[in-house]
Amino acid sequence: MIKNNQFKVEFREILFTRIKLKKSWVNELASILNCSTESIYKKIKPDHFFSLDEILTLSQHYNISLDQVLGKKDNQFQFKIPNLISPVSSISDFLLLLNSTFESINQNSHVKAIYSTRELPIFYYFLNKELASFKFYVFSKTIWSIGSFKNKPFSFELFDQSILSYFTQIWEKYSVIESTEYWNTNILDSTLQQISFYYESNELNAPDAHLILDGLESTLEKIQLMLISQSKSKLKTDNFKLFENKILHTSNHVLVKNDNFNALYLTFDSPNFLIIEDEEFIRYTENWFKIIHENSYVLGSGSGHHSKIYFDNLKNRIHSIRKTILL
């Protein structure tokens, strides 16, 4: 059991790593706790310290896990599950969550993401509104069971301008983050199967199906151009590295690292996600990513022939599905 003074010391150490304005930390804490700076100088000392309510307020504001300070039983980790607290009842709900998550992440310095996936990362859907609209149609009918999509065939008219604008906003927020990504050759399988299923079920007409396939092909071409420049954004240089993982099976894991804290985002009932911030688990994940890296092949600038084979294979899969959809 952690002792009282030990808790105070460890909480204070973690707190100071999260404070953004190091030179004016007293003013920052006073503003959060709505008290005087003199009071903060007293509270920071172990013989006074913060009240329980103040500790909870600071923990919530700075995203500090008290389990990390209090100690936990071996092999037990705490996950945050946003969808459990606030279930998605509309596409806007999810996009707002995703947008606010990026706003929080991008407030930090030197943000890096390591991403392993067996499906095209959701952020790349946002490069094409037809592709993104179809994917969110599928999520709405299946994962979220949104009533307004029940028994409705796919139509681009289901998505108003506010939804489409979120697609652009979220892509722009992801595009400036430095990312190292590990994909496999099956990243399009889920989307292609969904297109085939809804077409065969008469819920997706042929012209729209071909527009979605066009969007998927266009997205791959945009990604290839990003690989040549090794950048996802005109605002950032050298912030995109892509590898093909031929051997190891992965699901969707995104490890986000920055100057203030680290977090792992795991898709569970995709596209919903879980969050874990435990440093021990983060270290375990970093070691796992090293194993993936050792068994992966670089794509993009300098990989030449190998990169072309990879993307040609993906495009051939699109063409195979396209042949089954008759205009």
Average pLDDT of the segment spanning 96-105: 90
**285 shares its domain with 189:** yes
The last residue of a domain, from among 70, 88, 103:
70
In whole angstroms, give the CA distance from residue 275 to residue 323.
Answer: 40
Tell me the CATH number at 12: 1.10.260
Model confidence over 34-44: pLDDT tens digits?
999 989 988 88
Mean pLDDT of 232-250: 87
Task: Tell me, yes or no, whether 63 and 110 share the same domain.
Answer: no
Name the residue among 322, 120, 318, 323 with its Cα closest to residue 210.
322
Residue 68 is predicted with a pLDDT of 63
Domain residues for the domain of 90 are 79-324
d(CA 294, CA 155): 43
pLDDT tens, 251-304? 889 999 988 788 999 888 889 888 888 888 899 999 999 999 999 999 976 667
Let me know: does 15 contact 58? Beta carbons within 8 Å.
yes
pLDDT at 109: 85
Same domain for 193 and 305, yes or no, is: yes
pLDDT of residue 13: 79
One domain, residues 206 and 260: yes
- How many H helices and E strands in the chain? 14, 8
203 burial (CB, 10 Å; 0-12 / 13-18 / 19+) is: middle
Q: Tell me, yes or no, whether 253 and 110 share the same domain.
A: yes
18 and 150 assigned to the same domain: no
200 shares a domain with 133: yes
Region 144-154 average pLDDT: 94
Claim to verify: residue 128 and residue 222 sit in the same structural domain: yes
Based on the structure, what is the number of domains in the chain?
2
- The DSSP line for 93-125 is HHHHHHHHHHHHHTTSSS-EEEEE-SS--HHHH
Final residue in a domain of this structure, among 39, 70, 101: 70
Answer yes or no: is pLDDT of 2 > 70.
no
**Vertex 187, ends 196 and 185: CA angle to 5°?**
115
pLDDT digits (tens, 9 = 90+) for 176-191: 999 999 999 899 999 9
Domain match, 158 and 274 both: yes
Percent pLDDT > 90 in the chain is: 56
Give CA separation, 234 vs 172, 182, 237, 316, in Å: 10, 22, 7, 29
